[in-house]
Structure 1
Amino acid sequence: MTALPDYIIVGAMKCGTSTLAAQLGAQDGIFMTTPKEPNFFSNDDIYAQGLEWYSDLFAPAHPDDLCGEASTHYTKHPDYPDVIPRLQATGARPKLIYMIRNPFSRVVSHYIHEWTEGVINTDLPEALHSHSALISYSCYASQIAPWVATFGAENILILSLEDMQANPQDVLNRTGAFLGKTDLVWQEKLSRVNVSAERIRKFPLQETLISNPLATRLRRALIPQKLRDMIRRRRQMRERPTLSATDKHWLEPQFAADYAKLKALFPDRPDLDMSYPFVTP
């Protein structure tokens, strides 16, 4: 029998999805895939491995577990246009969780992520004009609207990183109620996952020269820890970049208009205002 997810965290990137996934995966009766982000319905090369490959990711779950995954590529329109049709074709109707945060903060975290990956090599102001995804992935209504049209707003839970940081147990309770699970307990011992400030810029040929097991053993045997720590610090972004007043002035109307659309899709959610301190209620 082909196993399919009961729930999917569909995004948004850099909005706390890794932390929420880790918390859900630590609960009795809830299963989270490894890898956390299989990106099955988004990435052509992964989708080509077939539905049975995807189904096998859920094989370790107990029979009564709620099974889920968390792939932020699923809300990266227009870069991955086939996600929803591919999921529809399986016949599955999973519960969907979408996380948001202050869009200005998300832009900066996304920029740091791409800088460490070597995708972006410019400063933040220039990147805003050369990498449209920094902005489009922060337009949450535009990203989630196709999911609402296909699966219904009642099948989607919107959460915010700001609320999760301020009221973690309440957010977990709300998530459990949405999934049909009670008595979920926030695990304080689980630290925040995938924190931008801790990311290290990749070297050229990183996989060959740095990340493979042999290189790791040689590096640890031949290079003193103090020198390795110094190199690591130099590959980190020392100061978190900030958006200029000019860039905020340009972006704010776009994000405010998108939030108006989000409120129309999900009315009676004043808690989502936490992500939009720049919008006048």
Structure 2
Amino acid sequence: MLTTMTCRKFKRVGIRGINKLVLLVMTILTSFALMVALSVTKTSVTLDEIRQIRRQPLKVDENTLAYSHNLLNDISQTDSNNRSMQVLTGTILNGGRSTGRLKLKEIYNLVVHGNAYQEVSTNNKHEHERVKKLPQVIIVGVRKCGTRALINMLAMHPDIVRPLNEIHFFDFDDNYSKGLEWYRKQMPFSHKNQITIEKTPAYFTCKKTPERVQRMNSSVKIIVIVRQPTIRVVSDYIQGVVKHNNKDKPPFKDFAELVMDNGKVDQFYKPIQTSIYCVHLSRWQQYFNKSQFHIVDGDALITDPYKEIKLIERFLGVSDYYSPDNFYYNETKGYYCLRWGKESRCLGENKGRKSLYPNISEPLIARMNEFFGPYNEIFYNQTRHRFKWETIT
């Protein structure tokens, strides 16, 4: 009887061991086959291909998955030629610094170690220095004022990291109910001396957001980027047209029909409400000191990005990094692009939709400017800065 039970127990243990061994062998063979296939077909892939791969779910442990989506925007010296190499972040390669191709070994390091250019072992002391922190800075808006361009410029800085997407933690109740720990896990890994910045433009107009942000961190720094209110309304309208047309619906309403109601500017039209900046800012100033705000002139960011970005650099207290050489005017696109040495990066093709601008009459523009005038004066007093918004240039 005892011998029979021992044999059965040994058989169960043996079967489990064999199953584990088979699984391990299959994993190794699959990985080897993948590497061979890659080496036969191509020895490098483009960044877009990497991004497509990284959008697929990975069946890995939590730490590896976190690294694959939130890697440091950092610089390391690794090769024999002392060549400056960047890690692959959870947002863009080299913080937008490179348009090159990854070699096979670099792909392997990315998938296995979470770092395209260095093999990261569990004993690497730098791994333990990387942590996910709640954001110390939040770009809360304003929608259609250049928030994406701004975060792309800030992502150049080696002292700044940011998550891939807009998190919508404070304005979406479903996300907020998940708690601060969930919010923290959406942030990228960062070193001790790096600042984490999150951008969600919808925060600015959401009534419950300021109090929620204050509960998280009463000393958080807040960035608000604004543009001439009428221009912002037009840009908001254009995005609505684009989204509407993509859904194969009847023609979108004319601009004048939406912004005017019985001969007056319709203050209940949402894009109009968003451009009344003073109302929303007053709500935020109930929870935070004025010294915690930095207001970015979105129109100036278009015409002179270097000046605006240096002001933000000083507000954040990060190292002196940006230079005029980081920005150049692209005649074809009609706006400034970013540059690092021989590399450059511009915003997507969907930016600057001049062909979609509605035919707005001068009297309508004048009516809208007149409507926003009193609200702009209040905003000037709130921010202690007079913007050149009296006319559209």
Shorter-chain TM band: 0.7 to 0.9
Alignment-derived partner of residue 229 in structure 1: none
Q: Which amino acid is 1:42 matched to?
A: D
Decide which of 173, 178, 183 is 1:44's aligned counterpart.
173
Aligned length: 233
Q: Which amino acid is 1:95 matched to?
A: K
Alignment-derived partner of residue 143 in structure 1: 280
Long gaps (5+) in structure 2: 1-130, 246-250, 261-265, 327-337
Name the CA distance, whole Å, in 1 between partners of 2:239 and 2:308: 25
Name the CA distance, whole Å, in 2 between partners of 1:238 and 1:46: 37
Q: Contact between 1:7 and 1:67, CA under 8 Å: does it hold in 2?
A: yes
Name the CA distance, whole Å, in 1 between partners of 2:174 and 2:291: 32
Q: Contact between 2:132 and 2:190, CA under 8 Å: does it hold in 1?
A: no
TM score, norm. by length of structure 1: 0.75
Q: What percent of counterpart residues are identical?
A: 24
Residues 171-182 of structure 1: matches in 2 within 5 Å? 171-182=308-319
Deviation at 1:176, TM superposition (A): 0.5
Name the CA distance, whole Å, in 1 between partners of 2:188 and 2:144: 28
CA-to-partner distance for each residue in 1:219-260, whole Å, 9 max, x for gaps?
A: xxxxxxxxxxxxxxxxxx844114323432332222111110
Deviation at 1:195, TM superposition (A): 4.6
1:71 aligns with 2:200: yes
1:83 aligns with 2:209: yes
TM score, norm. by length of structure 2: 0.55
Q: Contact between 2:136 and 2:220, CA under 8 Å: does it hold in 1?
A: yes
Name the CA distance, whole Å, in 1 between partners of 2:288 and 2:222: 9
Deviates more, 1:48-57 or 1:181-190: 181-190
- The answer to which structure has the higher strand fraction is 2
Alignment-derived partner of residue 13 in structure 1: 143
Q: Which amino acid is 1:83 matched to?
A: T
Decide which of 159, 167, 170 is 2:304's aligned counterpart.
167
Name the CA distance, whole Å, in 1 between partners of 2:177 and 2:350: 31
Q: Which has the larger radius of gyration?
A: 2
Residues 264-275 of structure 1: matches in 2 within 5 Å? 264-267=381-384, 269-270=385-386, 272-273=387-388
Q: Contact between 1:108 and 1:243, CA under 8 Å: does it hold in 2?
A: no
Name the CA distance, whole Å, in 1 between partners of 2:253 and 2:358: 12
Q: Which amino acid is 2:222 matched to?
A: L
Residues 178-197 of structure 1: matches in 2 within 5 Å? 178-185=315-322, 186=326, 187-188=338-339, 189-192=344-347, 195-197=350-352
Decide which of 152, 159, 164 is 1:22's aligned counterpart.
152
CA-to-partner distance for each residue in 1:64-93, whole Å, 9 max, x for gaps?
A: 2101111110112xxx32111211222342
Q: Which amino acid is 2:258 matched to?
A: A
Alignment-derived partner of residue 202 in structure 1: none
Name the CA distance, whole Å, in 2 between partners of 1:139 and 1:72: 15
